[in-house]
Amino acid sequence: MPPFHQQPASLGKTKTGRSLQIRTYPKFATLEQERQYRKEHLAAAFRIFADRGYDEGVAGHISVRDPILTDHFWLNPLSKHFSQMRVSDLILVDEDGFVVEGDEPINTAAFTIHSAIHRLRPDVHAACHAHSVHGKAFSVFGRELEMITQDALRFYRSHGVYRHFGGVVVDADEGARIGAALGSGKAVILQNHGLLTVGQSVDEAAFWFMSMDRTCHAQLLADAAAAGGGGHTKKLIDEHECEHSAQSVGGPEKGWLAFQPYYDEMLAKTGGDFLN
């Protein structure tokens, strides 16, 4: 094999020295433009979740903070299927749960959980919760993910477990307890319930959810193989490598960027129907 002459830090350059620009979160001339962007990516996230089978009746919700009315956030209407979500369907609610814009009620549990998170974490602009199969299955153990794969390192020391199941979350105190279990992390496993992820953008929060569900799937498969005998022993990634690699794969900008191929795919697949 010929030597690899280009340094990893230079992989964004051509042979002529021209720099190639990686996609980043856009800059907006007005807050109205940013509001529209957030709503468009929120609607897309629902479509993408539907593609992955995260829908279940009227359960599941994604929110994004409004950039103008910063104590308000946008949510999905109660009875709209994820696969049919459009920008015009989204509901704006205030910090007390009153609908400010929109034509349908919202999920009570959605407001209870999301309002607590947006209040407790001003750095968080979006939160995702859905009843994905692998997330639900892993949640029954009431434990954190093990650092057994590179993808799991996205959640290294940045996820918690809420070890209490009190049914549908309609009590403000329980919403606050979930927020406390989340802490300063990007995700929390709700025991006997499922996953919840957050981010500085809806893109980031949605990708963390998708990645965490797949990581739960990998964990379940690894646990089953290890329990089945045959000499299968899980090898955990050592702490030094966890520290180093988590910084490479777990930052907000990495989460945002990782979502863009899915957004592009949905845009092409639907012809932009969700933008209406």
Domain interval for residue 225: 28-271
Is 1 inside a domain boundary? no
Is 124 inside a domain boundary? yes
Is 8 inside a domain boundary? no
Task: For residues 181-209, give the mean pLDDT.
Answer: 97
pLDDT confidence of residue 4: 44
Is 216 inside a domain boundary? yes
Task: For residues 218-227, give the mean pLDDT.
Answer: 95
For the chain, the domain total comes to 1
Is 14 inside a domain boundary? no
pLDDT, tens digit (0-9, with 9 covering 90-100), for 92-151: 999 999 999 999 999 888 889 899 999 999 999 999 999 999 999 999 999 999 999 999
pLDDT confidence of residue 11: 65
Which CATH number covers residue 208? Answer: 3.40.225.10
pTM of the model: 0.93
Is 63 inside a domain boundary? yes
Residue 183 has pLDDT above 70, yes or no: yes
For residue 172, name the pLDDT band (cuts at 50, 70, 90): confident
Is 75 inside a domain boundary? yes
Is 22 inside a domain boundary? no
Residue 14 has pLDDT above 80, yes or no: no
The 3-class SS string of the chain reads CCCCCCCHHHCCECCCCCECCCCCCCCCCCHHHHHHHHHHHHHHHHHHHHHCCCCECCECEEEEECCCCCCCEEECCCCCCHHHCCHHHCEEECCCCCEEECCCCCCHHHHHHHHHHHHHCCCCCEEEEECCHHHHHHHCCCCCCCCCCCHHHHHCCCEEEECCCCCCCCCHHHHHHHHHHHCCCCEEEECCCEEEEEECCHHHHHHHHHHHHHHHHHHHHHHHHHHCCCCCCCCCCCHHHHHHHHHHHCCHHHHHHHHHHHHHHHHHHHCCHHHC
